[in-house]
């Protein structure tokens, strides 16, 4: 009996020791877990929220979307800087940059400088507090729309005298000036602005000058003259003596007859095409004739006499010819042609977007992404996919597969160079 009691006591002691050790082990485990949590939190606290990669990605997106902005706004770039503010490229303002997927957009300000010399160029500049600043960023560079500075107009208007520059008329006859026309490179037809100085007096023999003067809006002044010669009457007195007593005076008046001879002009008129004589259009584009003008051999405007034949059907690819023909008052004709080539349409991708743009997955899970093309009728809709961290998430034909916990960025690239991004979080 005594032995049995001792046995039970021994078993109790063993149980108590085992339970105590288990409790101690549990306490140690809890302490270890708490320490790990504290260390992880401290590491995360010291880890920067934004990296250089985040800022560089924002620059890249800004440069891409600036091209879309220019296209949608029909902006014609020149060699001068055209500034596009980051705000105009954000989704909230009608752009395509979503701060939820391009997180640096939340803390940065900046702009894109676009210009066209031989080719178009787009350069992004951002300032993100004290964390990052693009080299060359100008903090006081306010948002502007570039205005092309007009070159000062120094070209004088052209005066064309109607009729002959030199005229001879009889004394006492009626002189009616035929006038002149005037055209300016900027103001167009300014005939109504011509001032005429006409001092022709047909009652007096002599040479007179008619002066035509015109000034354009830029202050450029031109003048041209017409010479008018008035010829007179010759008077002769003849004295006849008869019987040495009588003298008779006979006055003979001889008028010099002026004959004006006009030679027929045989020089053909000139047609000048505005714009290019060879034009290439995409199929479906609208064709607007750039225009033309015509002058005869004396410089008179005869544009109203031009007839145009031929047409352009931009819905059908091919080569079309437009013919312009004019005949002057002397019967002289000339013609000119313009060639219009309509080519099969290739619609380029101006931008792409992905839905959803943020994906959260568990390890082993998959998600299929959808790509939207702008414009929707783009010719080449092929897409290549890539992952910034294939150990966390891979992508194939738009299907994301979660590999291990972490984050990755999936990039979709269109054949025309446009890109879209998706943020992936694997837990």
Q: Which residue has the higher pLDDT, 21 or 81?
A: 81
The CATH number for 236's domain is 2.60.40.10
DSSP 395-416: EETTEEEE-SSEEEEEEEEETT
**Are residues 298 and 226 located together in one domain of the fold?**
no
Residue 14 domain boundaries = 1-45
Domains of the chain: total: 5
Residue 127 lies in a domain: yes
**Are residues 375 and 410 located together in one domain of the fold?**
yes
Structure tokens at 48: 């920067």
Confidence at residue 45, expressed as pLDDT on a 0 to 100 scale: 57
Residue 138 lies in a domain: no
Mean pLDDT value across residues 123-128: 93
Residue 141 lies in a domain: no
Confidence at residue 147, expressed as pLDDT on a 0 to 100 scale: 39
Residue 150 lies in a domain: no
Mean pLDDT of the chain: 84
Confidence at residue 140, expressed as pLDDT on a 0 to 100 scale: 56
> What's phi and psi for 73, nearest 5 deg?
-85, 0
The CATH number for 420's domain is 2.60.40.1080
> What's phi and psi for 87, nearest 5 deg?
-55, -35
Give the span between the Cα atoms of 373 and 413, in whole angstroms.
11
**Are residues 162 and 232 located together in one domain of the fold?**
yes
Pick left, alpha or beta for residue 172 (phi over 0 → left; psi -120 to 50 → alpha; otherwise beta).
left
Are the C-beta atoms of residues 156 and 219 closer than 8 Å to each other?
Answer: no
Give the span between the Cα atoms of 57 and 259, in whole angstroms.
87
Confidence at residue 201, expressed as pLDDT on a 0 to 100 scale: 92
N- to C-terminal Cα distance for the chain? 62
pTM score of the predicted model: 0.29
Query: Is residue 259 pLDDT above 50, yes or no?
Result: no
| pLDDT grade for 165, boundaries at 50, 70 and 90 | confident
> What's phi and psi for 31, nearest 5 deg?
-60, -45
Structure tokens at 33: 């877990």
Confidence at residue 378, expressed as pLDDT on a 0 to 100 scale: 86
**Are residues 88 and 113 located together in one domain of the fold?**
yes
Residue 139 lies in a domain: no
Mean pLDDT value across residues 395-404: 95
Confidence at residue 146, expressed as pLDDT on a 0 to 100 scale: 41
Q: Which residues of 390-424 are buried (b: 16+ CB within 10 A; e: fewer)?
A: eebbbbeebebbbbeeeebbbbbebebebbbbbbb
Give the span between the Cα atoms of 250 and 378, in whole angstroms.
101
Give the span between the Cα atoms of 392 and 142, in whole angstroms.
42
Which range, of 41-45, 121-125, 130-134, 346-350, averages the lowest pLDDT?
Answer: 41-45
**Residue range 14-41, pLDDT digits in tens:** 777 777 788 888 888 898 998 888 877 7
**Are residues 280 and 235 located together in one domain of the fold?**
no
Confidence at residue 233, expressed as pLDDT on a 0 to 100 scale: 61
Structure tokens at 57: 């990605």
**Residue range 180-211, pLDDT digits in tens:** 999 998 888 999 999 999 999 999 999 999 99
Structure tokens at 213: 């003067």
Query: Is residue 261 pLDDT above 50, yes or no?
Result: no
Which range, of 43-47, 60-64, 127-131, 170-174, averages the lowest pLDDT?
Answer: 43-47
Residue 149 lies in a domain: no
Of 308, 343, 378, which residue is a domain's last?
Answer: 343
**Are residues 338 and 355 located together in one domain of the fold?**
no
Give the span between the Cα atoms of 58 and 133, in whole angstroms.
12
Confidence at residue 44, expressed as pLDDT on a 0 to 100 scale: 60
The residues facing 43 across adjacent strands are none
| pLDDT grade for 332, boundaries at 50, 70 and 90 | very high
Of 255, 285, 316, which residue is a domain's last?
Answer: 255
Confidence at residue 2, expressed as pLDDT on a 0 to 100 scale: 62
Residues near 365 by beta carbon (within 8 Å), at least 6 away in sequence: 401, 402
Give the span between the Cα atoms of 184 and 293, in whole angstroms.
14
Distance of CA 406 to the CA centre of its chain: 44
Residue 264 lies in a domain: no
**Are residues 68 and 117 located together in one domain of the fold?**
yes
Confidence at residue 384, expressed as pLDDT on a 0 to 100 scale: 94
* Pair type for strands 419-426 and 195-198: unpaired
**Are residues 120 and 166 located together in one domain of the fold?**
no
């Amino acid at each position: 009996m005594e032995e049995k009691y001792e046995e039970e006591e021994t078993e109790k002691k063993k149980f108590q020791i085992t339970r105590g050790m288990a409790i101690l082990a549990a306490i140690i485990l809890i302490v270890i877990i708490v320490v790990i949590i504290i260390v992880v939190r401290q590491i995360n606290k010291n880890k920067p929220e934004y990296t250089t990669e985040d800022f560089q990605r924002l620059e890249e997106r800004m440069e891409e979307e600036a091209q879309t902005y220019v296209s949608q706004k029909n902006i014609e770039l020149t060699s001068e800087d055209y500034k596009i503010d980051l705000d105009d490229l954000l989704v909230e303002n009608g752009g395509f940059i979503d701060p939820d997927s391009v997180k640096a957009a939340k803390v940065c300000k900046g702009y894109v400088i676009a210009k066209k010399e031989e080719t178009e160029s787009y350069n992004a500049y951002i300032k993100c507090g004290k964390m990052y600043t693009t080299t060359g960023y100008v903090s006081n560079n306010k948002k502007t729309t570039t205005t092309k500075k007009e070159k000062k107009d120094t070209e004088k208007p052209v005066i064309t005298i109607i009729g002959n520059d030199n005229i001879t008329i009889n004394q006492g006859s009626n002189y009616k000036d035929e006038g002149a026309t005037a055209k300016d490179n900027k103001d167009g037809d300014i005939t109504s602005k011509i001032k005429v100085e006409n001092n022709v007096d047909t009652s007096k023999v002599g040479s007179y000058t008619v002066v035509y003067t015109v000034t354009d809006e830029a202050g450029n002044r031109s003048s041209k003259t017409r010479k008018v010669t008035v010829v007179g009457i010759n008077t002769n007195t003849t004295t006849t003596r008869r019987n040495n007593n009588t003298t008779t005076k006979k006055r003979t008046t001889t008028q010099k007859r002026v004959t004006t001879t006009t030679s027929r002009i045989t020089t053909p008129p000139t047609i000048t095409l505005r714009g290019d004589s060879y034009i290439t259009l995409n199929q479906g584009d609208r064709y607007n004739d750039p225009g033309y003008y015509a002058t005869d051999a004396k410089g008179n405007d005869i544009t109203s006499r031009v007839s145009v034949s031929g047409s352009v059907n931009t819905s059908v690819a091919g080569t079309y010819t437009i013919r312009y023909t004019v005949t002057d008052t002397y019967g002289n004709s000339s013609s000119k042609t313009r060639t219009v080539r309509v080519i099969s349409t290739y619609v380029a991708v101006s931008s792409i977007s992905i839905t959803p743009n943020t994906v959260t997955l568990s390890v082993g899970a998959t998600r299929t992404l959808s790509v939207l093309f702008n414009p929707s009728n783009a010719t080449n809709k092929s897409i290549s996919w890539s992952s910034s961290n294939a150990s966390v998430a891979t992508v194939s034909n738009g299907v994301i597969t979660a590999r291990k916990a972490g984050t990755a960025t999936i990039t979709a690239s269109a054949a025309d160079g446009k890109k879209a991004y998706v943020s992936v979080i694997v837990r």
